[in-house]
Structure 1
Amino acid sequence: MKKLYQLSLVMLLAFTVVLAGCGNNNNNSGNAGGKNAGTATNAPAEATAAPTDAPKTDVKVGMVTDVGGVNDKSFNQSAWEALQALQKDTGIDIKYLQSKSNADYEPNLNQFVKGGYNLTWGIGFDLGDAIKKVATENPNANLAIIDSVVDAPNVESVTFSENEGSFLVGVVAGLTTKTNKVGFIGGMESPVIKRFEVGFKAGVEAVNPKATVKITYAGAYDKPDVGKSLAATLYNDGNDIIFPAAGATGNGVFNEAKSRNKAGGAKVWVIGVDKDQSLEFGDDVTLTSMIKRVDEAVKKVSQQVIDGTFKGGTTTVLGLKDNGVGLPETSKANVSADILAKVDEYTKQIIDGTIKVPSE
């Protein structure tokens, strides 16, 4: 009897070990099939397991840059930072693909679409044709684009009234210039960049009819060296403020201005674009910036996919009344209170329709 009791005890212990092992195997398979599947098999468990209170969603959002690249310190970067913020808040999966030339647009977009991403972004006017083609070939995919209107039932388009915000920085430039000569450097000629150009020129002329606005184009969004060279020519000609709307090419304008100010001589300024570029280049050279809320647009449309309310086939235009464009608070560092009061005055007139800013 005693032997039978000992044998039963041994069997009970063995059965307990088996059950424990089964329990551990179930936990591991649960992790393997979750959001972090595909990570290195030898990674420590704490590196792949999400905190219990973290947001959980299976939504995947991809972003294709134009040739300016994700670190253009302009609208591509704004879009990517928006997706990073959304990932932190909601737990979505995000990825970007950088385009080195126009030939990369379509294959990059298709990589996300064929990969089952819930939303694929194209950032920039140049991606319009590629978005249209990919959307037509993949009617069940959701796509969105910044700065272009694509007529397709599965594409949401977002554009901005860049002319309105550019008018306001034109007011600042016209009232700040000491030489009555200011410059504008565009990336490539397109309806989007034209809105920047004509709005800026109209703002300068509205407050300073004596000032001239020299317009030039770099022919590229990814050539800081070209931007630096064009800026040197404009500064040498007496233009003391330059407004570049040229993506990463505009970074060269800041570099040229910083070099000149460091060397002494007449003070020169740059007006930032898309982001508050004083945060990147400093307020010693950034007079103000024409902010375009690409970040808010990207967050808003991406959230629609998360919520199941995506509105394909629609176009959203964001202007001053929508807080889609404007000047940053940091403008107070270099722009006088009197000039900012004038900016507020023009802002109200544009919003209420008293002033109609040209767009082309």
Structure 2
Amino acid sequence: MKKTIQWVSVIALMIGLLLPLYAGGGRDNGAGKSQGLKVGILTTSGVDDNSFGQDCYNGVLEFAKANPEASVTTIKEPDMAKVIQAVADIIADYDVVVLPGFNFAPVGSLLQENPDRKVILVDSPPTDAAGKEIELPNIYSMVFHEEEGSFFAGIAAALESKTHKVAVVTGMAFPSNVNYQYGFQSGVNYANKYFGSNTQYVELPSYAGTDVTGKAVGGNYIGSFADEAAGKVVGSALIAQGVDVLFVAAGASGNGVFTAAKEASNVYLIGCDVDQYDDGIKGTENILLTSVLKVMHTNVAKQLQAIKDGTFVGKNDILGASTDSIGYVSAPGRHQLTANTLAKMQQAYGLMKKGSIVPAANFNGHTSGAFPGL
């Protein structure tokens, strides 16, 4: 009997020692690698598109570098019709999912059903099942005044063009891309009026866009953010019409426009969202004039850190020049703009920060030929 009591005591002691280990095995329990935030990023153009998706991914990587215990997974779904289902398929697997693109707006209703999961939504506020814009405590959405950044692309293109023909090439006529188009056209018109250029922006009727309200907006829309072949076709067609400066805002499709420009002579590009100077290398020269910047990575990293720290607040944010979230590359060795062009762009930037210049955008009621500051 004495031996039996001793064994029972030993077993009880072992159970007592093991229980805390099992109790601490979950994701949300204490210190250790299992405590790291599980981050997923789902894109349509990939995290290596040298543009929009990549900059958002850089923000995720920035957070992961500061928080080594975090885990990061990338998912790609190029079919626009399947993106919300793709989110539904993975939402339970991550603490937070980063979604770059206007096409993810309908995720709002899904997040209403999953209040314990969080989303960082880029380029659109969330919408409910009826398509109405909503604000949720578990979604941080950031939209940008893209028209402000592309305004400077328009000025640069107008002042640097030798043929006096320029163009903007975009992916799909989502509000962000229409903003890029209208802002670019506004910048060309501004340069023509105040800086003495005499430049026209060229549009291909066969690639004209229709925005989300059904309104015809013109422009040069490839029809996808992940079709490099189509991007090359559009770029080549514009070059054939004498365009020698193209502003490219088309995700991975824009890589095709880059190819078309590199195969031509005396054609230059303006990059979008990130510094694309290295992508402009053509043998011993570089064909990139500058890049328009939309500072997504900093804001993505900031919101991921807030989730990790427990200070996250869901909201619909609008960012632009006034918060230094829009700009253009002017660092030495990373652009090819003349000193005269840079000076004029800086002059206009100061006016924009003050609110004196408000370029046309998809829904702000202005046109590229009539906006505050023109």
- TM-score, normalised to structure 1's length? 0.80
**What is the Cα-based RMSD across aligned positions, in Å?**
2.4
Matched, 1:301 2:303: yes
What SS is found at the alignment partner of 2:143?
strand
* Greater shift in the superposed pair: 71-80 or 131-140: 131-140
CA distance in 2, matches of 1:55, 1:348: 47
* CA apart distance, 1:260: 1.4
CA distance in 2, matches of 1:293, 1:232: 30
Residue number among 203, 227, 234 corresponding to 2:231 in the alignment? 227
Whether the 8 Å contact between 2:50 and 2:276 is mirrored in structure 1 is yes
What SS is found at the alignment partner of 2:36?
coil
What SS is found at the alignment partner of 2:264?
helix
Residue number among 211, 225, 229 corresponding to 2:199 in the alignment? 211
* CA apart distance, 1:333: 3.6
Whether the 8 Å contact between 1:55 and 1:89 is mirrored in structure 2 is no
* CA apart distance, 1:135: 0.8
What SS is found at the alignment partner of 2:317?
strand
- Structure 1 runs (4+) deviating above 3 angstroms are 32-35, 54-57, 330-333
Distance 1:221 1:71, change over 3 A: same
Number of the residue aligned with 1:62: 40
* CA apart distance, 1:330: 5.1
User: How many residues are aligned here?
Assistant: 308
| Identity, % of aligned positions | 30
Number of the residue aligned with 2:338: 336
CA distance in 1, matches of 2:39, 2:335: 37
What SS is found at the alignment partner of 1:208?
helix
Counterpart of 1:146 in structure 2: which amino acid? V
Counterpart of 2:50 in structure 1: which amino acid? K
What SS is found at the alignment partner of 2:109?
helix
Number of the residue aligned with 1:114: 92
- Structure 2: gaps spanning 5 or more residues: 1-13, 127-133, 203-218, 363-374
Residue number among 304, 309, 312 corresponding to 1:310 in the alignment? 312
Whether the 8 Å contact between 2:294 and 2:325 is mirrored in structure 1 is yes
- TM-score, normalised to structure 2's length? 0.77
* CA apart distance, 1:152: 3.7
Matched, 1:138 2:114: yes
* CA apart distance, 1:77: 1.0
Report matched runs for 1:42-53 at 5 Å: none
- Structure 1: gaps spanning 5 or more residues: 1-21, 36-51, 262-266
CA distance in 2, matches of 1:56, 1:345: 51
Matched, 1:73 2:28: no
Counterpart of 2:257 in structure 1: which amino acid? V
Counterpart of 2:304 in structure 1: which amino acid? S
What SS is found at the alignment partner of 1:248?
helix
Whether the 8 Å contact between 1:135 and 1:152 is mirrored in structure 2 is no
Which one has a bigger Cα radius of gyration? 1
* CA apart distance, 1:56: 8.6
What SS is found at the alignment partner of 2:54?
helix
Counterpart of 1:95 in structure 2: which amino acid? T
* Greater shift in the superposed pair: 181-190 or 202-211: 202-211
